[in-house]
Amino acid sequence: MRVGVRVQALVDPLRIAAGLATLAVGAIHLKLYFDSYRDIPIANIGRGFLFNAVAALGAAIALVLWPHRAAAVPALLLANATLVGFGLSRSDGGFFEFTELGWNPTPWAAASVFAEIAAAVFATALLATSAMLRSPAAQDGV
Amino acid sequence: MTDSRWRLVAIIAALLTVGCAGFALGAGLASEPRSAPASAATPEIPESSPLDGAATTPAATDSSADRDTTAASAGSEGPAAPTVAVPGTGESAGAERVEIAIVDFAFSPAELSVAAGTTVVFVNEDDAVHNVLSEDGQLQSPDLAKGDTYEVTLEQSGEIPYICNIHQFMRGTITVTA
């Protein structure tokens, strides 16, 4: 089987996996928003959770409906930005002075980090497979 | 964009993902609580809050007949005891037990006046973990998960400002009257 065909077979599953993981990120943030995080009064942190959910929905739709490798970029950026926000909120300075502890709220913080890493990995893999499909080896049918 | 540039994008994406994932995982692991705050030195409550200038509105607390009676312990089980709170006034009216709910990232009621000898019961109703900390050390709870309680009997008259040491914009004050 040629390299190009093998790699091509990965693109659709990766696109779907990245879309589902991105949707999961948004769903978790939406759940936390409605639970109590909408009441966090500082620096629009609460609204930031809602924005994350909306952005995740848009990125997931783009992944599924737009058959271009660039569709992976919004999901990749969203997932990594959310990971950075999570990390900053656990630091001494906090994320815009909002701090959290460890993996709280459990189990949603850990689930969200897992989904974010999955979304970023799948989006990266999608970009990589797109690059491989254009490689000389793939095009020569080796 | 040329193909070579897309390959570069893919490489940058991989490095970015590894870096961000490592940062998040490391921060999560490093910030996990190691010991109960009761065993540590009482940190100073910051004078300023991200909410400086914002008014805190005390809210009524529903009394519950299903709370534990074991004193000075968090999350403990015990026989139910009546708690008395006067909704809307923030005053205990001479009751022996008064409840403060930790809900929606706020203490409710935020301002409370109790008589000396009253047992104050903090109940965490949020999914997030909170704690209760006062600078004078009278209130020094462990981290409270959802459903956990922290009880303290206040004997000394005076004003006790306190915060959640995790989310320091959460503030409250208990005034103990003689």
**Backbone phi, psi, residue B47, to 5°:** -70, -35
Give me Rg for the CA atoms of chain B: 21
Of B9, B16, B105, the CB nearest to A36: B105
Tell me the pLDDT of chain B (178 aa) as tens digits: 677 888 898 999 999 999 999 999 999 999 887 654 444 445 556 665 555 544 443 333 333 333 333 334 444 444 433 333 444 445 555 558 999 999 999 999 999 999 999 999 999 999 889 999 999 999 999 999 999 999 999 999 999 999 999 998 999 999 999 8
Spatial contact of B175 and B165, defined as CB atoms under 8 Å apart: no
Residues in A touching B16 (Cβ below 8 Å):
76, 80, 120
Residues in B touching A123 (Cβ below 8 Å):
13
Spatial contact of A86 and B22, defined as CB atoms under 8 Å apart: no
Give the position of tokens 């989904």. A115
| Nearest Cα to Cα of residue A78 among A105, A116, A47 | A116
Spatial contact of A63 and A71, defined as CB atoms under 8 Å apart: yes
**Beta strand B97-103 pairing with B111-115:** unpaired
Question: What would the pLDDT profile of A8-50 be if each residue is shown by its tens digit?
Answer: 777 889 999 999 999 999 999 999 999 889 888 887 888 999 9
Residues in B touching A113 (Cβ below 8 Å):
24-25, 28
Spatial contact of B6 and A134, defined as CB atoms under 8 Å apart: yes
With an 8 Å Cβ cutoff, are A99 and B21 in contact? no
First to last CA, chain B: 76
| A8 vs B: CB within 8 A | no
Whole-angstrom Cα distance, residue A47 to residue A43? 9
- Residue B149: which H helix or E strand, with range? strand B149-154
Judge if pTM exceeds 0.80: no
Per-residue tokens: A105: 């709220």
Of A80, A102, A109, the CB nearest to B33: A102
**Backbone phi, psi, residue B41, to 5°:** -65, 145
Question: What would the pLDDT profile of B101-146 be if each residue is shown by its tens digit?
Answer: 999 999 999 999 999 999 999 999 998 899 999 999 999 999 999 9
Whole-angstrom Cα distance, residue B38 to residue B34? 12
